[in-house]
Structure 1
Amino acid sequence: LDASETVFIPAKFRNLSLDGDRVALETWAGVRGTEGRVVEVLARGRARLTGILRKAGRAVYLEPDDPRIAADYGRVPIEDAPIGKDGDAVVIEITRYPDAQRRELAGKLLKVLGDPEDPRTEIEKILACAVIPIEFPDDAQAQAKGTPQEVGPADLADRIDLRERRFCSIDPETARDFDDALCIEDGPHGGPRVWVAVADVSHYVRWGDALDKESTIRGVSVYLPDRVIPMLPIQLSANICSLNPLVDRCAMVVRLDYTDDGELHDVGYAAAVIKSKGRLDYPGVAAALGGDFRGRREIYRPWEVELQRLFKLSRVLRTKRRARGALELELSEPKVVLDADDPRLVRDVVKAKGDPAVKQAYELVEEFMIAANEAVGSFFRKRGATTVWRVHAPPKEDRVRQLAELLEAYGILVDVAEATTPLGMKKVLDQIAEKPGAQALSLLVLRTLKQAVWDTVPVGHFGLASGDYLHFTSPIRRYPDLLVHRLLKYHLHRDGQPSGGGYSKQPPDTEALAQLARDSSTNERRAMEAEREAVAMYRAYMMRDQVGQRFEGVISAVTNFGAFVEIETPYVEGLIKIDTLGDEPWDFDAVHMRLSGRKSGKMIELGDKVMVEVNNVSVIRRRIDFTLIAISHQGKKPVTHHPKRVAPEPAARAGVSKQRKAGREVEKATRGQVERGAAPRKIGAGGKMQLGVSHRGMSDRAGGGAKRGGKPQKKRR
């Protein structure tokens, strides 16, 4: 099975499997679509459990957070647990899995997390279960502490000197690590010349050293609302590698010479030394572009001309990218706003980049990062050299065909063959943009697309309609960018161009690079899942005291177990369970993405406006449950709904609800993010043996991670 294929496994056919296990299945056509039974557990997907430590005499147990584990196995014995007190939140490592002889779990205590009512405890659980390393090992710390924190004379060798150029960095307001900086000036051919400078991490982190080994384990920095787990220690990430203002810094630069109409005339690559002249932020740039220099914005006035030139050119480049078929999915991502003094307090959850002017400032930087990444990709393609590409393969034709069936119900016609090309898919999105509920329909497109990964095979990037795309511009926070820097330096050295030194030896072979790319892709998925779960936790935490309150929202997704509702303020999403819709049976129409009451004929469809009441919130399960109060279809009067009242789950842990009803099963809604598709698909039936991943339970879809304490990060394209 791939990530889009779903098989329902009845409880009696789970055969000792746990959520997340890789299993062999036997499948058949059933009343819930494709059903199956677990034939064999091939690999365990879960190594750790979280919950509350309980003591009964000399025995110590884990009361699992996961109600599926609690329902199937009850309390989990903890072996040798001398620390921790009754009621502490803890993490255990599983030491015994259920087998034919003993249908039980057991584990050993890994960490005592403390107060279960503190949202930071939930973050600790997320990090522990994702096995994301937090502390750096001694040898990596020693290397970081021994790294000079100033650029010395020896560092200037084999570099071009760009310290007089007017570079500026543009980042979120709370940023501490500055990967990139921009400079625009008149080029020798009459058009603009743009320098894209990128932190030269490879000058300080070399093949096989302690920091390199640790970076391969981490793969990427992890950005959570309340903290950052950096790929590199702070001595590098926020100091000597970071393009901080008014200090000399080593950089790798890409020179982009454009004609006045935005055609790339010439390009160059070199190791350099720069001195950034300004540390700008997105809101400030947005204000400057609008001519607002009031208050602290006065410091942006000296940058007005350059910012306007960069902005004008970025719009030309964006138009050209769109013309070649680059996709733009207008999907809002949630941003968690925490109290500046007390991160336990959630002030709000809002839409990231909700201000159109700030969004344009982000897009300004994004265009030149894409241009630099493509320019470096072109360097490798032209010489047929191995590198690590950012690969986004085209969607499968059968996935596009299913999308076409869904969109036809909304009056959107899709040429299936054409939509397997970027330009064809762009036409689909252009039609969607004109429809009510465009964001919900865009999610259908998103789930049709594959996930982008890193690879040594240059498949191209479907979403960007680019054949030369790789990642070069963020080596402080992404390991593949660091790999690309090293490979570029090797070839620059061979060409006799300024390379900064240190990379004259043959780099690792293609297979070794491919393995590093695969590992980085795995680590990126791990980080994205942790980031999404953290945001989902904070969204639930924000709503924990809102049970009984009513909100207006929009149907954002429809499934066979209910409908998801998106609320604007605060920006959260929850589920209307199908069993709360009344006593009549409800049918799910997968083609038209709607639920319909079998007796009343009432319907729930994508884009419908609704009034909902918060029925239950579980921070532990990242869940918000709604009861439908009223619904308004497009162009029709609101209809009051008479829901089936369901008693809220018992509250626990200061408003954090928890439910552990034995035997309860809730299906999982797989909701994708940018670069990820996850729509359900029909697969072969009739006793076929399949390989897949076991999933049970339902989790609220959360948006992408937030960079640097809740600020939006640069897109993972």
Structure 2
Amino acid sequence: MPVTPSDIVKFIESRPGRPLSAREIAEGLRISPSQRKKFYRLLESLATEGLVAHLKGDRYSLPRKQNLVTGTISVHRDGYGFVSPREGQGPDVFVPARFLREVMHGDEVVVRVERGGRPGKPEGRLVRVEKRAHTTLVGLYEQGRKFGSVHPADPRLNQPIFVPAGQELGARGGEVVLVAIDAYPNEFRNAEGHIVQVLGDPSDPAVEILSIIHKHGLSHEFPDDVLAEADFLPEEVQPGDLEQREDLRDLPFVTIDGETAKDFDDAVCLRREEGGTSHLWVAIADVGHYVKEGSLLDQEAYLRGTSVYFPGQVIPMLPERLSNGICSLNPQVDRLTLVAEIVFDAKARRQSSRFYPAVIRSRARLTYTEVHEMVEKQLAETIERYVDLYPMLTEMLALSEGLTAMRRQRGSLDFDLPEAEIILGVRGEPENIIKAERTKAHRLIEEFMLAANEAVAFFLGQRDIPLLYRVHEPPDLAKLQAFQQFIAFFNYGLNLEAEGVDPRALQELLAQVEGKPEERTINQVLLRSMKQAFYAPDNVGHFGLAAEHYCHFTSPIRRYPDLQVHRVLRQAWRAGGLAEQERNRLADRLPEMGEHTSRTERRAMEAEREIVELKKCQFMAERVGEAFAGYITGVQPFGLFVELKEFFVEGLVHLTSLSDDFYTYEEDRHRLVGQYRRRIFQVGNEVEVLVQNVSVERREIDFTLVDLAAQQTTAQESPKGRRAQGKSKKR
């Protein structure tokens, strides 16, 4: 009978005296010589997974017996780091900088917890690097006398990569390059590598984008064979494609998207019935009809996992021939779709739903602005332009508001956290940064997509069909207790039970803070208290939406999990259910698929966030020395975060710049208080700030308060101030 991972763990546990060699474990489990190689590979895989600890001298033990923790290390720019343990191994472990000489940010490492530090804050030292996070890095090339070096763009990668002579690929000092790592750092030397691509001048907007693309490991060019496979696809719907599809071309479907959108995943249509019921059709591009499972297009889409959206640029999951062509629900052309047809009663409660392949013909490509002008502003000119569609749009608004009310009643959380909209010039430089408008037109489409996603997940879940759910676990009680203490300062309460919190209580709180100065801060702190949503085959529900069943179905052009849901939905129709063999195949594959697509989603989000921060810094770099009105959005022990009124930009007023007094941070009240003058800084205070410094490299914007900057200038210009400066220079 073959040995199992459980057998190995139990055997090591039964020999608590000392770490065991691989040979001792093999002999103890009576592994035959012919099976030793296979056994050693299994043992090493258990070490990689953190189930056993691989110690120096090729000996093995259980992690808890050696106080070992396995996880991913996050290195601070100042050199120290924190290891985030794998699930179930406890809190983050602090690792001092002196133990991180051979570690790079993002590496999988094993650390030994040596002392507790502060309560609940363990501290440790490095035992071993399990897995390297980087094979290539983006950075600035610097030419020395005998060799060059690359200084990584990510400040958390705080060690230069040495580049021997002849390995620089013609790079010149000051250029951005992509360097491949040939040797990783150790106690005695830095990492070494060779340059594989010269990206160019760091001030070139195109180079900036490329730098972030390479930094996050994004695939931005499609391989030739993938493009060739896409070229074989038709540009128009073929007659044979219409077989076994419902013909919905007579229904007045419309798409509603942003002004710059080029790929249209979804189209909607609504008909109000007698008695107040609403008949909603949500038609989603049938990407699976063209992208067959296992094809080159499918493999590349899976590798990317998602499209990535930068200001003025998209890195698509699928080639443009599909994403902007045959799979995009463009107006006045036939398109293949999968349809969720849902009937709601007069109170917006779902009564029935069915799902099927269809062909549609969109009547119009509407923008959020146009719908906003019709249903909210009642702009006659826009209404006249779409006079045939206007009655349906008003009915859509009524249904969407009913759906919103239903979700809030059950406890669905609506975080009002505005996003930045970057207005670019012709060369890609930021010309303005504004708060992106979120109108009833946006909410209308959001509600319909949520309704379709939930209906599909319920349908498949009721039939026990394996799929990737979009899950969101409830927050940890400790984080909720910290949040409870935070909002108490603002005179808000939150009832907590031993098992956590009812999402309806959180929704009531969000409604209470709406429109208040502290609204954004409370929204942000609550969001940070939440766990991150992810993809998984096990349905644990979606806490944030207060939904028992939820999946992603509505965006297969730009998200791979949606494409996978389309495929199982199609299989459920064709055979009336999945065969046992197919169920087993999905059960084996979906866990890894969920982990992979969750990773690619986080990677895309990090890249998108960084490019926005870059554009904000570039925009404000031209305004150093200028003064702006703003208000305090956050208070920390190290300073104040201030958001400008004129531009949707946030910067930091460092505590060290508050020179008029000694300030104390009151943690329970989240405010800074002057010891002598009793000046108080707290969320919502209006202030006037001066742009003091902008670091594009670090993505940091520093402000000073105008009144304190004026005092400092006056003091420096006074005779006494000039004498003090002179003495300082002499010293």
TM bracket (short chain): 0.7 to 0.9
Structure 2 distance, partners of 1:7, 1:609, is: 39
Is structure 2 residue 415 aligned with structure 1 residue 329?
Answer: yes
Deviation at 1:628, TM superposition (A): 2.8
CA contact (8 A) 2:466 2:583 kept: no
Deviation at 1:189, TM superposition (A): 7.4
Which secondary structure does the structure 2 equivalent of 1:442 belong to? helix
Q: Residue 494 of structure 1: which of 558, 569, 575 is its match? A: 575
Of 240-249 and 526-535, more deviation after overlay is shown by 240-249
For the pair shown, the structure with the greater C-alpha radius of gyration is: 2
Task: Find the counterpart in structure 1 of residue 473 from structure 2.
Answer: 393
Percent of aligned pairs with the same amino acid: 37
Is structure 2 residue 522 aligned with structure 1 residue 441?
Answer: yes
Question: What value does the CA root-mean-square deviation take over the aligned residues?
Answer: 3.1
1:238-265 superposed Cα distances (whole Å, 9 cap, x missing partner): 1101111111111000111122332222
Structure 2 distance, partners of 1:455, 1:642, is: 57
Larger RCO (CA within 8 A; separation ≥ 6)? 1
Which secondary structure does the structure 2 equivalent of 1:384 belong to? coil
Long gaps (5+) in structure 1: 631-638, 648-717
The letter for the 2-side match of 1:328 is D
Q: Residue 532 of structure 1: which of 581, 603, 609 is its match? A: 609
Structure 2 distance, partners of 1:473, 1:623, is: 36
Structure 2 distance, partners of 1:248, 1:478, is: 23
| Cα pair distance change 1:602/1:107, threshold 3 Å | farther
Task: Find the counterpart in structure 2 of residue 428 from structure 1.
Answer: 509
Q: Residue 111 of structure 1: which of 197, 205, 208 is its match? A: 197
| Cα pair distance change 1:237/1:513, threshold 3 Å | same
The letter for the 2-side match of 1:469 is Y
Structure 2 distance, partners of 1:507, 1:207, is: 17
CA contact (8 A) 1:13 1:36 kept: no
1:109-163 superposed Cα distances (whole Å, 9 cap, x missing partner): 1321112112332221110010100111222111111111111111111111111
Is structure 2 residue 180 aligned with structure 1 residue 93?
Answer: yes
Task: Find the counterpart in structure 2 of residue 549 from structure 1.
Answer: 626
Q: What does residue range 308-707 of structure 1 map to in structure 2 within 5 Å?
A: 308-339=394-425, 342-353=426-437, 359-417=439-497, 420-433=501-514, 435-495=516-576, 508-582=585-659, 586-597=663-674, 601-629=678-706
| Cα pair distance change 1:430/1:626, threshold 3 Å | same
1:264-291 superposed Cα distances (whole Å, 9 cap, x missing partner): 2221110111111111110001111146
Q: What does residue range 214-363 of structure 1 map to in structure 2 within 5 Å?
A: 214-290=300-376, 292-293=378-379, 298-339=384-425, 342-353=426-437, 359-363=439-443
Of 19-28 and 401-410, more deviation after overlay is shown by 19-28
Structure 2 distance, partners of 1:399, 1:138, is: 49
Deviation at 1:303, TM superposition (A): 1.1
| Cα pair distance change 1:595/1:8, threshold 3 Å | farther
The letter for the 1-side match of 2:614 is M
The letter for the 1-side match of 2:278 is P
Of 434-443 and 615-624, more deviation after overlay is shown by 434-443
The letter for the 2-side match of 1:352 is A
Q: What does residue range 127-166 of structure 1 map to in structure 2 within 5 Å?
A: 127-166=213-252
1:142-191 superposed Cα distances (whole Å, 9 cap, x missing partner): 11111111111111111111111111111111111000001112448762
The letter for the 1-side match of 2:437 is K
Which secondary structure does the structure 1 equivalent of 2:394 belong to? helix
Of 30-39 and 192-201, more deviation after overlay is shown by 30-39
Structure 2 distance, partners of 1:434, 1:117, is: 40
Structure 2 distance, partners of 1:167, 1:19, is: 49
Which secondary structure does the structure 2 equivalent of 1:420 belong to? coil
The letter for the 2-side match of 1:594 is R
Which secondary structure does the structure 2 equivalent of 1:301 belong to? coil
Structure 1 distance, partners of 2:284, 2:555, is: 7
The letter for the 1-side match of 2:339 is V
Deviation at 1:612, TM superposition (A): 1.7
Deviation at 1:464, TM superposition (A): 0.8
Q: Residue 59 of structure 1: which of 128, 147, 164 is its match? A: 147
CA contact (8 A) 2:163 2:195 kept: no
CA contact (8 A) 2:177 2:200 kept: yes
Task: Find the counterpart in structure 2 of residue 680 from structure 1.
Answer: none
Deviation at 1:557, TM superposition (A): 2.3
CA contact (8 A) 2:272 2:395 kept: no
More helix by share: 2
Deviation at 1:601, TM superposition (A): 4.6
| Cα pair distance change 1:613/1:31, threshold 3 Å | farther
1:218-247 superposed Cα distances (whole Å, 9 cap, x missing partner): 000000003100000011101101111111
| Cα pair distance change 1:139/1:207, threshold 3 Å | same
1:649-668 superposed Cα distances (whole Å, 9 cap, x missing partner): xxxxxxxxxxxxxxxxxxxx
Structure 2 distance, partners of 1:628, 1:7, is: 37
1:544-582 superposed Cα distances (whole Å, 9 cap, x missing partner): 111111222222223333222211321111112233233
